[in-house]
A = this chain, B = another copy of it.
């Protein structure tokens, strides 16, 4: 297997864009990425599209050639990958494997979702399809309800508090306020977070990520060809996708995500690094409790210590290991199919020194963790300066 690099990145702003359709978002991200990598559409050897529910959100399926055609990509295999909110993380993991194995040199990976054209109730119903509709979904358990159960159990088992959850929200809103591409650029206080409108006890509106439109793209190439395209290549040090049961009641323990632990172990092994080497991370904070659990599952802290870790300030922009400098799904926004690749763009921006007001000094090794459903899919990627 040969080393692989990200030689271009491109993102749309995340937000609610009533005048934009799914394809125009994906095309904007793809074109920005092609321009950033100095690659023409005819050079692209394969196109991987991550999308969760375009057919349900906007009525269009067969999305990979649909987007690729508009980008001017012709003849190359164009494939849509669906793995719930880890759809574009999965598209990326398969693309890295194809380049590492020498099957392709230039692969464009894009993630996209257009969610805001549906009512919030309809969005919740579509998202519930990432869980077990024959069980959870049938009894009305939408994702806020599932993660509320997870949060309650984490509180019971480890003493996690409302303040711990709110600390994640306050930090991510502070970071997102500095991100010009974030959906919600609004600083919130601990008092506001604690007084948030209840959604599903103990989660309030400030514990839940946003319903957003957006797209993101990265261009992959073999590391030994990276200089042909960019002077700012980012190396993929490790990547792994793993799976677990879909239904929450099939899991042995709902305070940890087995797939995240397994993907983390594999990515660490591939990179030769350990948790202590990770300088900063983008973690999948679909709900505040998910960031806390991810920081434990990836070994940043011991099991049960994710809450105090967040409250301590260690994960803030000026802390020992900043988490979600982009604002995370909570503040940057969460167009679900775009999120996996957007995290990688955000890590790459830090490594390239392009993170503006959020720029870190220790920016050489970053980790991205992308979660599907309530943990049935996980993708963990470790990126480093090339």
Instruction: Assess whether A4 is interfacial by the CB under 8 Å rule.
Output: no
Whether A262 contacts B82 in the complex (CB less than 8 A), given A66-B132, A101-B101, A133-B59, comes out as no
**Is A79 touching B90 in the complex (CB atoms < 8 A)?**
yes
Q: Interface-forming stretch among A144-152, A165-173, A199-207, A236-244?
A: A236-244
Decide yes or no whether A83 CB sits under 8 A from chain B.
Answer: yes
Measured CB to CB, the nearest residue on chain B to A81 is B79
| A77, A103, A245 — most chain B CB neighbours (10 Å) | A77
Could you tell me how many residues of chain A have their Cβ less than 8 Å away from some Cβ of chain B? Answer: 63
User: Shortest CB–CB separation between residue A220 and chain B, in angstroms?
Assistant: 15
Residues of B within 8 A of A372 (CB): 62, 65
The complex places the Cα of A62 from the Cα of B126 at a distance, in Å, of: 11
Contact assessment for B103 and A62 in the assembled complex, using a CB-CB cutoff below 8 Å: no
A377 pairs with B65, CB closer than 8 A: yes
Asked if A129 is at the interface of the complex by the 8 Å CB criterion, the answer is yes
What secondary structure prevails in chain A residues at the interface with B? mixed
| B79 engages A61 (CB within 8 Å) | no
A240–B184 alpha-carbon span in the complex (Å): 44
Q: Does A137 contact B (CB under 8 A)?
A: yes
- The 0/1 profile, CB within 8 Å of B marked 1, for residues 290-325 of chain A is 000000000000000000000000000000000000
Q: A117 an interface residue at 8 Å Cβ cutoff?
A: no
Name A residues whose Cβ lies closer than 8 Å to a Cβ of B. 21, 23, 47, 52-53, 55-56, 58-66, 68-69, 73-84, 90, 93-94, 97-98, 100-103, 126, 129-134, 137, 240-247, 250, 258-259, 262, 372-373, 376-377
